Structure 1
Amino acid sequence: MQDASTVIELTTPSLSSRFRLRTSGDAEAAADGYAGVGIVLSERAEASLLDWIPVNSRLCAVRLATSVRESRGSEVHRTLFIVSAYAPTDCSSESAKDSFYDALGVCLSDAEMSARPTDLFSCRTLSVPNCHATQRLDEGWDTAKLPKPRQGKSRGGGRIRTTDLPIIIHKEVDKYSSGHITLIAENEEDMWLTYNLVQIGDQLRCSTVRKVQNESATGSVQTKQVRTNLTINVEKIDFDLQGSVLHLKGRNVAENQFVKMGAYHTLDLTLDEKFTIFKSEWDSIALMLVEQAADPTQHADLAAVIMHEGLAYVCLVTSTTTIVRAKIEINIPRKRPGLPTTQHEKGMTRFFEQIMQALERHVRFDIVKCVILASPGFVREQFFDYLMQTSTKQDKRVFLENKGKFVLVHSSSGHKHALKEVLMDSSIQSKLANTKAAAEVNALNDFYQMLKVDQSRAFYGYKHVKAASDALAIDTLLVSDALFRSRDLEERRRYVNLVDTVKEDQGTVRIFSSLHVSGEQLNQLSGVAAILRFPIPEPNSDEDSDSSTENGVGDS
């Protein structure tokens, strides 16, 4: 790690950069009282590295204002200094050096394996004369010499974020609901909403890379890649959920010097990339999705750890998605009668330590209102006791100060599917009352309760729900977002009209995400259900054109 020629690749869906370590130090850093390691990297890669500095490593990232190395196109290469109260110097002991470089190695390794950073950081809008720093007071970063920034936005907990871009850049929709909207997808939820927003037949424009062949006067052919803005008529949509990349295939419909009219091209839409969607008709559901994407409160405010001995899932739950941020799987020796339990206890300690590290890394306690610890048996109590005792010994204030946010509940297993039953547990409903996922979970729970008590007031399937709507009987409509991704425009309009009608009749509409555990459950009931204000006779059960829909719904 101390070799000056060390190069570490960081690959994310939207960038590929190199970290080059400079272990010889820097005169400017030494003059300002810093000691540490310089890492040459691009500004965009800087964000990835900053996000992955371990909160318990006593490392701090500082970049000097005068440390710009070179500029290539739009990428500016900088030196980011990783410093610490225990940063190695020529006079440091070998153990101090080893400790520092081990922590730095973990940091770089995690950044390399990261799917994508969860936060952005940019130094362009800061104007501190000596140095720039980013600090996480609430997450335990130690800082060295932190001047107050003159510009930039400060968010709760001391986090500085200067690239907080609005997702709606431009909106132009006429009175006939035709027009275009320019957006930026900032996170995984925004990309999921974009996937629900784009339909086959829409036009989409964004920046892309195209291979171009040039023939010289001598007849030789050279191939090069060029970046250009391209507009296609969407014919095929694929969504990479793990990488949060939307693949859109279609024919070019706008004049371009590199791509012929009518030529096929696949646009790879990634996070933090500007794009424009053109629709001949922006229906109410599409406009609602746009407004939902622009809502700054759309963040994960509920975390959950589902576990049993040797297996744990750390999940973030939002109103639209359930995201597994970490899966911990450890082989723990069993307890055997008459034999010491030392090996079992050591295994459980390793298991709990990894869960605690995952919570440190993935849960933002300044946003999360509730952390559910669920397990069969007493594993949850054992982990919570370990968490509090370890936090007291190691002064992990982030856990101690948020002790009241933890809720311990029973689950049937430590697998992800057990999260559904946990969210419906009446003992935690008061804790979930202020989370955005609670409304959908409660609505589905209310539907099941009504189905048990009075089936004439709980309908599912389009035919039955439409009959209830015609009778002005719907109090709450539950509908899956998968129905709005149908390639059949008439089917999509049918559900859009149903939603609009229920709203006009003063009913409540809950749109469930197929990525959410509650949405998965609703899809088993055809994707549409309703709780009625009053009982009505059940419609004839003759099969009709939507009988296939009655048997369940999947992503189109």
Structure 2
Amino acid sequence: MKLLEKQIFPDKSGMVKIFLEQPDDLWLVYNLIAVGDVITSQTSRKVNSKNQSRVNINLEIKVTAIDYSKGSSVLRVRGKNRVVNEHINAGSFHTLELEKNKEFTLEKKVWDTKAMETMEDGHDGVVGYDLGVVLMEEGLAHVFLVGNNSVSKHCAKIEERLDPKTGLNKFFESVLHAFMKHIDWNMVRCVVIGSPGKIKAEFHQYILSEAQRSSKLKSIENKKSCILLVNTNSGKENCLNEVLHNITVTNFIRDTKASVEIKAMKEFTDLLSSNSDRACYGLKSVEAAQELSAIKTLMITDELFKNAEIAMRKKYTGLIKSVKEAGGKALVLSSMHVSGEELAKLTGIVAVLRFPMPELDM
């Protein structure tokens, strides 16, 4: 995304004007916008129900809800209009759609540390992907990209009834088409094919054979050493987590943000089951642990962090700062990554402790 204008004042209030250059900018903006912010952008509205005529207007809304799903090309922001014009009343609710090639202004009462980091990370940066993943079983496949920004993107679902005459070949052809459409071999570090049984090996052999026959698939031939085969329970979407916890896969992406978060969540869940006095979850318990500088690693979901009231955002920001000043690590996990989804099920805020604290009430 391109930063067109920036005005941040000493009290941390201020505005930025942003231009969305590519669809992947939407997840950055999704993490940047919070309930209570003010968005200004141009949109069109129907003004005459008889002839369906529309006019372009500038809409300024105070955000009440944000709607964005993985892989979507549009981010919808709903809120209350703040400016009267001849077509729209102040106080009425409207939805702005943000998408590629759209310009908008974002105002915040407080630009906290996380918001500033998100903006700087996205400003004129390229959203890249470290990992391509194909999950499959007979007749079903999913294609994913896992980003250097710790976001997992569901690119395609392939579901076909197998023809007894052609066997798996037609299905493999469809999967390969989606595979090549969404995975840029010049960008990803490796591609993982995950499945139960032997179908992953059969698909692997199929794509290597096709690569030798077609110059359009030369990238597969050149990168065949970067293809990993991993056992999974099924080819269903939820098995992405199994792939990301596979030790061979994590070694390929070990220095990425996604890998750091995966390892941190694994350490927490392992401790929760084997040494629960060194793990805690819930804001009350986490705050009590930090009062004694007991937190080794703090993890919080971006959803919890950005959707809270300003007072709560300041509390979370202060908690992160306190943990870092005490020598601990603080991670804000994306809700659009499997680690963030896992964290959300555990109240959205957890901590790995330096020493046991059995007295914490969770």
Q: Which amino acid aligns with 2:162?
A: I
The residue correspondences of 1:427-442 to structure 2 (distance < 5 A) are 427-442=248-263
- Report if the CA contact (8 A) 2:76-2:98 is conserved: yes
Distance 1:186 1:417 in 2: 31
Matches within 5 A, 1:151-162: none
| Alpha-carbon shift at residue 261 of structure 1 (Å) | 4.4
CA apart distance, 1:264 = 4.3
Q: Does 1:184 align with 2:19?
A: yes
Superposition deviation, residue 445 in structure 1: 1.4
Instruction: Indicate if the aligned counterparts of 2:12 and 2:110 stay in contact, CA closer than 8 A.
Output: yes
One-letter code of the match for 2:218? R
Give the equivalent residue in structure 2 for 1:466.
Answer: 287
| Larger RCO (CA within 8 A; separation ≥ 6) | 2
CA distance in 2, matches of 1:498, 1:187: 34
Q: Does 1:253 align with 2:73?
A: no
Q: Distance in 1 between matches of 2:69 and 2:272?
A: 36
| Residue 196 in structure 1 maps to residue 31 in structure 2 | yes
Name the residue aligned to 1:370. 190
C-alpha change, 1:445 and 1:297, in structure 2 (3 Å) is farther
Q: What is the distance in 2 between the residues matched to 1:317 and 1:404?
A: 19
Equivalent residue of 2:129, what SS? coil
Task: Summarize the Cα distance change of 1:312–1:519 in structure 2 as closer, same or farther, 3 Å threshold.
Answer: same
Aligned to 1:280: 109
Post-superposition shift, 1:203? 1.4
- What is the rounded CA distance, in whole Å, between the counterparts of 2:115 and 2:239 in structure 1? 32
| Cα deviations by residue, 1:242-281 (Å, 9 ceiling, x for unpaired) | 5432333334334646545445433222222111111121
State the aligned residue count: 360
Structure 1 Cα separation of the partners of residues 92 and 196 of structure 2: 57
> Structure 2 length normalisation: TM-score?
0.90
Query: 1 CA distance for matches of 2:116 and 2:96?
Result: 23
**Structure 2 residue 142 is matched with structure 1 residue 307:** no
Q: 1:264 and 1:522 mapped to 2: Cα distance?
A: 32
Structure with the largest fraction of helix: 2
Distance 1:359 1:239, change over 3 A: closer
Cα distance, 1:209 vs. partner? 0.7
CA contact (8 A) 1:196 1:484 kept: no
What is the match of residue 151 of structure 2? 321
1:458–1:294 CA distance, 2 compared to 1 (3 A): same
CA displacement, residues 64-112 of structure 1 (integer Å, 9 cap, x when unaligned):
xxxxxxxxxxxxxxxxxxxxxxxxxxxxxxxxxxxxxxxxxxxxxxxxx
Per-residue deviation, residues 111-157 of structure 1 (Å, max 9, x unmatched): xxxxxxxxxxxxxxxxxxxxxxxxxxxxxxxxxxxxxxxxxxxxxxx
Match of 1:157 in 2: none
Contact 2:193 2:227 in 1 (8 A): yes
User: 3-state DSSP class of the match of 2:168?
Assistant: helix
Within 1, Cα distance between the matches of 2:10 and 2:342?
38
Distance 2:330 2:126 in 1: 19
Tell me if the contact between 2:335 and 2:344 (Cα under 8 Å) persists in the aligned partners.
yes
- What secondary structure is seen at the aligned counterpart in 1 of 2:79? strand
The residue number in structure 2 matching 1:361 is: 181
Moved more, 489-498 or 346-355: 489-498
8 Å CA contact 1:302, 1:435 repeated in 2:
no
Q: Do the aligned partners of residues 242 and 303 (structure 1) sit closer, same or farther apart at CA in structure 2, a change above 3 Å counting?
A: closer
Alignment counterpart, residue 271 of structure 1, candidates 91, 95, 100? 100
Q: Which residue of 1 aligns with 2:208?
A: 388
Q: Structure 1 residues 389 and 250, CA, compared in 2 at 3 Å: closer, same or farther?
A: closer
**Using the alignment, how far apart are the partners of 1:264 and 1:457 within structure 2?**
47
Question: Which residue among 417, 422, 432 is the counterpart of 2:238?
Answer: 417
1:115 corresponds to: none
SS across alignment from 2:250: helix
Runs of at least 5 residues in structure 2 that lack an aligned partner in the other structure? none
Distance in 2 separating the partners of 1:295 and 1:450: 39
Following TM superposition, the consecutive aligned residue runs of length 4 or more in structure 1 with deviations greater than 6 angstroms are none
Q: 1:236 to 1:522 in 2, by over 3 A?
A: closer
* 2:162 paired residue number: 332
Q: Does 1:230 align with 2:59?
A: yes
Superposed, which structure 2 residues align to 1:88-99 within 5 Å?
A: none
Q: 2 CA distance for matches of 1:462 and 1:478?
A: 11
Q: Which residue is 1:484 aligned to?
A: 305
TM superposition shift of 1:376 = 0.8
> Quick check: 501-510 or 522-531, which moved more?
501-510
Contact 2:25–2:127 (CA under 8 A) maintained in structure 1: no
1:81 aligns to what? none
SS in 2 for 1:506: coil
How far apart, in 1, do the equivalents of 2:200 and 2:80 lie? 54
Identity %: 35
Q: Give the whole-Å Cα distance in 2 for the aligned partners of 1:428 and 1:243.
A: 27
AA of the residue aligned to 2:282: G
Inter-partner Cα distance in structure 2 for 1:454 and 1:261: 55
Aligned equivalent of 1:450: 271
8 Å contact 1:308–1:413 — kept in the other structure?
Answer: yes
> Does structure 2 retain, via aligned residues, the 8 Å contact 1:208–1:267?
yes
Which residue of the partner structure matches residue 209 of structure 1?
44
Answering whether residue 224 of structure 2 is matched by residue 403 of structure 1, we say yes
In 1, the alpha carbon distance for the partners of 2:144 and 2:52 equals 45
CA distance in 2: counterparts of 1:451 and 1:251, whole angstroms: 43
Alpha-carbon distance change, 497 to 244 in structure 1, aligned in 2, over 3 angstroms: farther
Q: Secondary structure at the match of 2:237?
A: coil
2:239 aligned partner, one-letter code: A
Letter in 1 for 2:267: D
Cα deviation digits, residues 279-302 of structure 1 (max 9, x gap): 121122222221232262532221
Distance 1:363 1:244 in 2: 18
Aligned 8 A contact 1:331 1:347 in 2: no
TM-score, L = length of structure 1:
0.60
Partner-residue secondary structure (3-state), 1:301:
strand
- Equivalents in 2 of 1:308, 1:240: separation in Å? 25
Counterpart AA for 1:178: S
Distance 2:157 2:132 in 1: 14
| Aligned mates of 1:264, 1:375 — CA distance in 2 | 47
Instruction: Specify the SS of the correspondent of 2:267.
Output: helix
Aligned-pair distance for 1:303?
A: 0.7
